[in-house]
């Protein structure tokens, strides 16, 4: 009977060891699985952050390109009337006949929102403060150029409306 008792103790010990090692193996497998899941989750989050950063960089580049294009368009729009207006001023002042000067005046007026568009002439500037001559209208100024046969001022600033028509003109005395 002694061998049976010892063998049952041995069997019991073996069962306890198998159960203990089996649980440990299951625990290790569960830990390994959880670690793999956590690693995959972290990798996915890293990929998502990278994609988000790339998307933000792409949007920022698009916005910068849009602003630059808009600035170039505004500069082109601002210089186009300036160049045309300068040409009209020269044509009116250098006109050989009253009729050709009047034709140039009428063409020049098409650049403005109205013939009553204000023209401001800067006679001096100091410390960022401008001193203006008596305000006039574009129609009066163009007739002045026709009468004087010279253009004593240069275009300093042009303000336009949404339609691209000039709403205010600032000139600077030469």
Q: What is the pLDDT of residue 1?
A: 46
Domain containing 157 equals 1-174
Q: In which element (H, E) is residue 132 found?
A: strand 129-132
> Along the 174 residues of the chain, how does pLDDT read in single tens digits?
445 555 666 676 666 666 666 556 677 778 878 887 888 888 899 999 999 999 999 899 888 888 887 777 666 555 578 888 999 999 999 999 999 999 999 999 999 999 999 999 999 888 889 888 898 999 999 999 999 999 999 999 999 898 889 999 999 988
What is the DSSP track for 35-95?
A: HHHHHHHHHHHHHHHHHHHHHHHHHHHHHHHHHHHHHHHHHHHHHHHHHHHHHHHHHHHT-
pLDDT of residue 119: 95
Rounded CA-CA distance 16/4 in Å is 18
Cα 157 to Cα 35: distance, rounded to the nearest angstrom: 68
Helix (H, G, I), strand (E, B) or coil at 138: helix
pLDDT the model gives residue 6: 57
- Number of structural domains, the chain? 1
Q: Give residue 103's pLDDT.
A: 94
Cα–Cα nearest to 166, from 103, 109, 120: 109
pTM recorded for the entire structure: 0.55
At residue 147, the pLDDT reads: 93
């Amino acid at each position: 009977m002694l061998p049976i008792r010892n063998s049952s103790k041995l069997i019991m010990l073996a069962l306890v060891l198998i159960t203990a090692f089996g649980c440990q193996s299951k625990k290790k497998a569960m830990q390994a699985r959880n670690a793999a899941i956590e690693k995959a989750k972290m990798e996915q989050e890293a990929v998502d952050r990278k994609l988000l950063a790339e998307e933000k960089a792409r949007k920022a580049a698009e916005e910068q390109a849009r602003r630059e294009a808009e600035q170039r368009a505004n500069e082109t729009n601002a210089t186009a009337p300036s160049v045309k207006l300068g040409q009209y001023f020269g044509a009116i002042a250098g006109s050989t006949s009253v009729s050709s000067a009047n034709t140039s005046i009428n063409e020049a007026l098409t650049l403005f929102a109205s013939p009553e568009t204000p023209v401001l002439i800067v006679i001096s500037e100091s410390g960022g403060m401008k001193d203006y001559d008596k305000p006039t209208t574009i129609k009066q100024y163009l007739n002045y150029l026709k009468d004087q046969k010279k253009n004593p001022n240069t275009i300093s600033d042009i303000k336009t409306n949404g339609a691209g028509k000039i709403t205010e003109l600032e000139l600077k005395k030469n």
